[in-house]
Structures are given as C-alpha cells and as structure tokens.
Amino acid sequence: MPGLGSMLLPGKIGFAEANSWRFNPSYLPPQLAQYFSRFGTPWSTLRETNLRLLLETAPKGFSPDWVRYESKQGWQLKAEKTLISSYDAIRVYLWAGMMHDGDPQKARLLARFKPMATLTMKNGVPPEKSGCRQRERARTGPVGFPPPYCLSCKIATPRPCSDSGSQTIFLAAMPITTMC
C-alpha cells in the first residue's frame, strides 16, 4: 500500500480499488504477523504495518469492524457509514490479550484499547457496539463477549450467567473453556 507498506488483504475480490483498500483489523492476529516475519520480505514488514492498522484506526480505543485506507489520504476514519466496533472487532482485543507479556507490541495495544477496558469495567460487560470516533455505547454484548475482552483487559468482570442471580467472575488467567 503506498505510504503504508505491505498489508494482507481480507480476500482476492472486493477489497481493493485503484487507490483504496478495505481492511478488517481483526483478521490478522499480531502473533501470526510476528511468526511470518521470519520468512523475509514481504512478511518482515507486515508486523509493523499490522500494528499501524491496529493502533492508528482506534484513536479513541475502540477498534473498528472495517476501515478503508487511501493511498493519498491514509486511514479513512470518517467513512460513509458510521465506524463501529462490534462483533467483527472482538478478536482484536482477544489477540492483544493473548500476546506474550514480553512482546513490546502488547503493552502498546493494551494501552490503546484501555478505553474499551474502562468501559467494560464500568458496566460489568463490554458493549455490543461502540462508536470508534467517540464514546457512544449501545446494548451490552451477549454472554460470550466478556471472556475475550477480559483477556485483553486483564480484569475480572462480573457477569450474570443464569436467571438465578448468581454471578461468575471471568478471570483473565482462566482458560476460555472453563469460564462458565
């Protein structure tokens, strides 16, 4: 991508125009970008351009589901459609939380996504959808949302798991298969 570097397109058709490309920030886990960098060009630059995608498209701490990059103007955060963070973006927080603690990218990503962690802690559950340019909150997410967010937030999030009023605390250190 002119002005950006090597990027992995989501697919062969429908994601590239003459001077514009569409990306889903959750499609390439940073861990995989790191792994592939050992194979040389163009993979060696992919780790850094993927990090730019994650950091630069979430200026308010909420990763968009989809974003467009234009060769002369960079990331288009004022899209025709409202930029939202929802089901498509949930993996971004999961990948960040699963990174090795010694990876310097992890600290940068967790710092960038702190507003999502703060909102999740405040409300007890992550939102189903959030605005990416400003903090707007819609309904709370479904029961499956807290575990991935907890991994990235490194928080314990109370979440009702039944109508009986009992609560389960989702701990970041617990394997996902034992959470509820």
Is 4 among the domain residues? no
Is 51 among the domain residues? yes
Is 5 among the domain residues? no
- CA separation for the pair 5, 123 (Å, rounded): 38
Is 2 among the domain residues? no
pTM: 0.75
pLDDT at 90: 80
Strand partners, 167: 160
Q: Which domain holds residue 135?
A: 20-174
Mean per-residue pLDDT, 73-77: 89
Is 74 among the domain residues? yes
Which carries the bigger pLDDT value, residue 165 or residue 130? 130
Instruction: Give tens-digit pLDDT for 134-174.
Output: 555 555 655 555 555 555 555 444 444 334 443 444 434 33
Is 123 among the domain residues? yes
Do 50 and 34 meet the contact criterion of CB atoms below 8 Å apart? no
Instruction: Give tens-digit pLDDT for 93-114.
Output: 888 988 898 998 999 999 999 8
Q: Write the secondary structure of 60-74 as one string of H (helix), E (strand) and C (coil).
A: CCCCCCCEEEECCCE
pLDDT at 140: 62
CATH (domain of 152) = 1.50.10.10
Is 12 among the domain residues? no
The domain total for the chain is 1
Is 122 among the domain residues? yes
Residue listed under structure tokens 């590239």: 16
Q: Is the peptide bond before 42 cis (omega within 30 degrees of 0)?
A: yes
